[in-house]
Amino acid sequence: MTDRETGPATDGGEPAAGAGLSDRDRAVLALERRSWPGPGAKERAVREQLGMSPTRYYQLLNALLDDPLALAHDPVTVNRLRRLRETRRRRR
């Protein structure tokens, strides 16, 4: 289960009033929206800015791609990532 399924997270992941997505979820989407200069830069930012491992980051991101609240919050990023995920799945 993710933190979102078990209730408010203790790591700053509590939902803002009326917003639907937690601060952490919005931060994950914001980080994913950026472009990265090379390998390792994104993973370093995940550790420094979000305080989590890259593995946990990608688990949360993947769950967000299926969340209608994330789609409503950032449709361009979520739809782009859904297309990439589907392309990777088809290649397997």
Q: Do the Cβ atoms of 2 and 63 come closer than 8 Å?
A: yes
Which one is predicted more confidently, 92 or 22?
Answer: 22
Q: How far apart are CA 63 and CA 91, in angstroms?
A: 21
Q: Do the Cβ atoms of 63 and 4 come closer than 8 Å?
A: yes
Residue with token string 């989407």: 29
Q: Mean pLDDT over residues 52-68, rounded?
A: 96
pLDDT score, position 13: 53
Residue with token string 């739809």: 79
Q: Is residue 39 scored above 60 in pLDDT?
A: yes
Q: Mean pLDDT over residues 18-38, rounded?
A: 90
Residue with token string 């930012």: 45
How much helix, strand and coil, in percent to the nearest 5, is found in the chain? 65, 0, 35
Q: How many CB atoms neighbour CB 31 within 10 A? A: 16
Counting residues of the chain whose pLDDT is more than 70, the rounded percentage is 79
Provide the whole-model pTM. 0.76
